[in-house]
Amino acid sequence: MADESWEDMITAAADRFNVAPEGKFEFRIEDAESTVFSSGNPGIKVKLKIAVGPEAGKSIKTVNVVRSPKAAGLFLDHLAAVGISADTLMQQKPTLDQIAKIMPGKHVSGTVKHKEYQGRTQAELQWNMRPPASGAVPVTSFPAVSDAEALGYGSGDAVATDDDAGF
C-alpha cells in the first residue's frame, strides 16, 4: 500500500488538472538529465516550469533536446538559450551529462501550445527553448564528471572525442 496522502497524489498530478495556458512565457529549468531516446539518438530531457506571472509554477510537457545531425540547428538553438555557444562547445567539448548539470536553475523563454493526447490537453513547448528576455548568461565552463559520465552522452558506451562532429 502506498504511503502518499491524497494531497500528495493530487499535487503530483497537478498538471492534469491545471494545464498551463497557451502563450509566451519565461521558464525556469527544474531538472535536466542526459539520456538516449527510443530513436537511438542521445539527448537531454528538460523539465520546465513557468517562472513569472500568474501562471508561475505550472509545468509543461518535458522538452526533449535531441542531439542528431538531422536536427543540429534545433539542438544548438536549445543550447544557446541556456548560454552555451558553438565556440564554447568546440573549446570545452562537454558531454551531455556535463551540459545537463549546468541547466537546472537557468531561465529560458518559449511559447506554450496545447496538444490533445489520449483525451486530455497537454501544454508543450512550441519548437524550441529561446534565451530569456534579459539574455542568456554565457556558460564558459562545465562541472567535472565521474569516470562513468566521461564515457559520454549518458549511454554508457559512447565516447566523446576531439573529432566528434557535434562538439
Instruction: Write the DSSP string, the chain.
Output: -----HHHHHHHTHHHHSPPPSEEEEEEEEEEEEEE-TTS-EEEEEEEEE-SSTTTT-B-PPEEEE--GGGHHHHHHHHHHTT--HHHHHHH---HHHHHHH-TT-EEEEEEEEEEETTEEEEEEEEEEE--TT-PPPP-------TTGGGSTTTSS----TT-TT-
Identity at 164, one-letter amino acid code: D
Q: What is the pLDDT along the chain (167 residues), one digit of tens a residue?
A: 568 888 888 777 766 677 899 999 999 999 999 999 999 999 999 999 999 999 999 999 999 999 999 999 999 999 999 999 999 999 999 999 999 999 999 999 999 999 998 888 999 999 899 999 999 999 999 998 776 655 444 444 444 444 444 44
Domain boundaries, the chain: 27-145
- The pLDDT of residue 143 is 93
